[in-house]
Structure 1
């Protein structure tokens, strides 16, 4: 289940969201050549990724920030940028450019700390913007629980796009991260589930003051949990490529 877009247009150009996407892509391209040399890549990640054991010993504090601009591969980068593109613009619209940047970085740092606490002596480096983006998703859930999100459902050979409310898509995502984190060995590497869960929770908490300023529960009652502006509509345009009909033998 992959989100491909939401029906929640932003009212201003999300310059910070675009800048964060450009920074993540630019940093990845800068060290992409190291993937051909695992030894060099390992040293690079040791220097700039977040390793819980180093952080526990008081080293590499700066990696709380640098790690969120590194990715373990092209698909890792693409997935994170898709989520940031879908949900980031609306949170930037609500918080303002500077406020959103601070919110994003704080969510990423909180996510990294959550992963470090779950395995304080782990030697496995953690990379990725997932924790910071999880914070964006947590804030989005609080502000727009009933915004429509189009998700791509893939069941073996069946592909279908379905619009679902944000609370369902984001709630299922958070539940998967939480329960996967409980059953996973954080010292074994793989997906940083506790960073995802921690970032989501931190983002929700950091958005709480904004939600309360808008009226809290009364804001939800006024908007019914939907974006406070007309939603975007999309139409599937038919292809201009002519289709050939089946020939019939006479």
Structure 2
């Protein structure tokens, strides 16, 4: 299950989303080409990625922020930027530019701390923006539970793009994080499931004041959980064909 786009247009230009995407993409292009040896790249990660044990010892607190702008590979970066593009513009539209930036950073720091609590003695570095983006998704669920999201379903040789309400797509995604977290070894690298789940609930909680300001349950009644403006319609001819691809797995840092 892979989201491609939503049908929820934003009413203003999402400058902060553009800025965050540019920071992540340009940063990746810099550090992925600037270090000629594995050792030098490892030193970079040790300086700017979050190491749970160091945080528990009160060391390197700034890595709670810097780790959000580092990714472990091009697919890691691309997936995170796609989720930010789909869900971030609407949250920035509702919150305003600077409040959204603060919301994003707080969600990311909270998500990283959730991972630290789940693996307090781990020496594996944690990198990635998806804890913060999970917070964006949590806020999106609260504000637009029935907004339609086009998802790509892949079942072995079956490919199908279907629109589903946001609460189904996001609910399934959250359930997958819990299942993954229960089965993951907190002392090994891989997907930082508890960072995802923690960021999601932190973002949802941070959005509650905005939801109440909009009217709380009355906002849902007024909009029926849909965007408070006409949704975007797409022609099926514009849906791209996406070939199957199974990336090779290799050991690496935690990714979120």
Per the alignment, residue 69 of structure 1 pairs with 69
1:109 correspondence with 2:106: no
Partner secondary structure for residue 60 of structure 2: coil
Partner secondary structure for residue 72 of structure 2: coil
Per the alignment, residue 188 of structure 1 pairs with 188
> Residues of 2 paired with 1:161 and 1:79: CA distance?
17
Per the alignment, residue 13 of structure 2 pairs with 13
> Residues of 2 paired with 1:144 and 1:224: CA distance?
9
1:30 correspondence with 2:62: no
Aligned residues: 239
C-alpha contact 1:34 1:40 (8 A) present in aligned 2: no
TM-score normalized by the length of structure 2: 0.91
> Residues of 1 paired with 2:183 and 2:35: CA distance?
30
> Residues of 1 paired with 2:35 and 2:137: CA distance?
30
Cα deviation, residue 29, structure 1: 0.6
> Residues of 1 paired with 2:128 and 2:238: CA distance?
37
Deviation string 1:69-93 (CA, Å, 9 cap, x unpaired) is 0000000000000000000000000
Cα deviation, residue 43, structure 1: 1.1
Pairs within 5 Å for 1:1-250: 1-33=1-33, 37-237=37-237
Structure 1: gaps spanning 5 or more residues = 240-250
Cα deviation, residue 183, structure 1: 2.0
RMSD value, Cα:
1.3
Bigger shift: residues 39-48 or 124-133? 39-48
> Residues of 2 paired with 1:86 and 1:16: CA distance?
14
TM-score normalized by the length of structure 1: 0.93
Summarize the Cα distance change of 1:179–1:215 in structure 2 as closer, same or farther, 3 Å threshold. same
> Residues of 1 paired with 2:103 and 2:111: CA distance?
12
CA radius of gyration, larger in: 1
